[in-house]
Structure 1
Amino acid sequence: MFALHKRRIKRKPRTSKEFIIALTLIVLAICIALTASLMSNRGASQAKPKAVIIDGLLHYPNETFVKEATSLLNSTGFEVDYIGGEKVTVDLYRRLPSLGYRIIILRVHCGPLVETLPNGTIVPGEDAILFTAEAYNPNKYRIYQRGQLARAVITGRPNELYFAVPPWFFDECAEGRFDDSIVILDSCYGFYSTSMAEAFIRRGAKVFIGWDGEVQAKHTDYAVLVLLKYLLIDRLTVDQAVKKVMDEVGPDPYHHSVMLFYPSSAGDYRLERLKR
């Protein structure tokens, strides 16, 4: 009968050299992870704030305005996108709050919302609508055609119908939120009432700037360039900048409309606070 003897295996004690190597590898891994995290945060913090020029005035192009506005924005640290022509769609307005723009220049038609009765009588409403450059199609956007969209016609072009969005479109259909954005409506009737401005503010915009009536394209384009200069270069408050524009450029010489901003509490807001 054989007795089985367990053989004891002697483990070599871990040397101090092995311990130091293991500890070094752990520390190195932690350093790499921290460095990657810091670089990621640094990259995010150094990302340029974004601005956009949305240009839907198909019949009133102004390349000079676009170039000068872009130059002003670029020179003060903004990355600028240009969205023009037929890219100005219902879907663009739907996604706009989520796109991260800190300055939004809406060079699009805007006009009073009216209701046409069965007998042909036109009844003016209290709200304004923002035009797209997207031709109206009754079979498109059916999900939104229960009061969230409107048909729009440009004065003098009765056969050209476009989709347009009323203020409540941003409440009911848009996605995301504006990030304390400054919204400049480079067009007519931004303050036909305060409803459009209020819709943007409810969605997270900081201030809405526009005109209280009809305005000529060349007049508003020039006024907006002056406004950008006062906001970006001179670092004036919103209230100071708008007043200076009215002093220097003045109301529209033909329609006598004036530039306004909303809400009044944003009057002391300086654009430099938007910079990351």
Structure 2
Amino acid sequence: MKKHRKLRKRRKTRKRRKTVEEKYGNIKTLVIAILIILVSAISSYKLHTIRSSPQPKTALIIDGLSVEFNNKEFIDKITYYFKQAGYDVEIYNGTSVTVDTYRKMFNGKYKVIILRVHSAPGDGIIVPKDAIVFFTAEPTTIKKYFAEQLMGFVVKARTLTRGESFYAITPSFIRNAPGKLENAVIIVLSCYGTLGGITVREFLDKGAMAYIGWDGEVSPEYMDKAGLFLVENLVKHHLSIEEAVRKTMEEIGPDPFFGSYLKYYPPNAGSYKL
């Protein structure tokens, strides 16, 4: 009998010990489950915050003409319009306009890109005559870009106003630059912006939403006046591209000396609003 009682007591002890282990095991499982729920909740909150927070809009202004035709009032006004509309604004002017500056266009963060630079038709050898090149502010007296010149990405180009030679980027540069434009609107404040269509097509193929420019030569004074009116209507008054371009031509008109008209591409981008 005594032996039987000791055996029963031992069994009870074992049973009690097992119950304690199960109890602590259940608590451990519960703690792990709570931690998983908390981590999931925090992750979901962060993901929701990222998705619901609007990404900052950024406008890029490349003002190579500031070296020769400085217009601080123009730059200040369009910067004001963009900032009032909630944009961040990055400006490169003067000697800061280099080949590397043009590479920045393709990092995918710009919603609007304004090129206030010298441009010129191609030479018919390296660059087709119905395409244009965009000037940097880097004089060709500085020997560089050997590989880019061999590949036709960069050429030497001479301004008509002063006859100075600068490095300029070509349509091949645009085509082969790393990155995309991510639906950016390109506004070319320069001569021959829409000449031929080759340069326009390269920008669109690179991911631009729309391309706006003049079909011939323009004077700096007229270009800035019309360009400011265009940007004001696009950014401040939120007109569509078609409405803003049409209103600019109605109110400001074509270039009074050269007769050049402002145009946009592709046609189906006319309804787009910034």
Quick check: TM above 0.5?
yes
| Cα distance in 1 between the residues matched to 2:142 and 2:69 | 26
Deviations 1:13-59 (A, max 9, x none): 344893555543343333233233333334xx422111111100011
Larger proportion of strand: 1
The 5 A counterparts of 1:222-237 are 222-237=225-240
* Cα displacement (A) at 1:145: 1.0
- Matched residue, 1:71: 80
- Aligned 8 A contact 1:95 1:175 in 2: no
Alignment match, 2:134: 130
Greater than 6 Å deviation, 4+ residue runs: none
Alignment of 1:102-181 (within 5 A): 102-114=111-123, 125-137=129-141, 139-146=143-150, 147-158=152-163, 160-172=164-176, 174-181=177-184
Equivalent residue runs for 1:18-97 within 5 Å: 18=27, 20-42=30-52, 45-57=53-65, 58-97=67-106
Percent identity over paired residues:
34
Cα displacement string for residues 121-140 of structure 1 (whole angstroms, at most 9, x for unaligned residues): xxx92221111111125741
Inter-partner Cα distance in structure 2 for 1:80 and 1:95: 14
Alignment of 1:194-213 (within 5 A): 194-213=197-216
Partner-residue secondary structure (3-state), 2:122: strand
Q: Which amino acid aligns with 2:178?
A: E
Quick one: distance in 1 between partners of 2:110 and 2:38? 39
Read off the aligned partner of 1:82 and give its amino acid letter. I
Aligned to 2:217: 214
Aligned residues: 254
Residues 1:258 and 2:268 aligned together? no
1:128-180: per-residue Cα shift (whole Å, max 9, x none)? 1111111125741111112222211112422x2100112222113x1111111
SS in structure 1 at match of 2:61 = strand
SS at match of 2:42: helix
The answer to which structure has the higher helix fraction is: 2
What's 1:4 paired with? none
How far the C-alpha of 1:99 sits from its partner, in A, is: 4.2
Any stretches of 5+ residues in structure 2 without a counterpart? Answer: 1-12
8 A Cα contact 1:95 1:176, kept in partner: no
Change (3 A) 1:245 1:205: same
Match of 2:8 in 1: none
Q: TM-score, normalised by structure 1?
A: 0.84
State the one-letter code of the partner of 2:109: G
Structure 2: how far apart are the matches of 1:175 and 1:64? Answer: 34
Gaps of 5+ in 1: 1-7, 117-123, 272-276
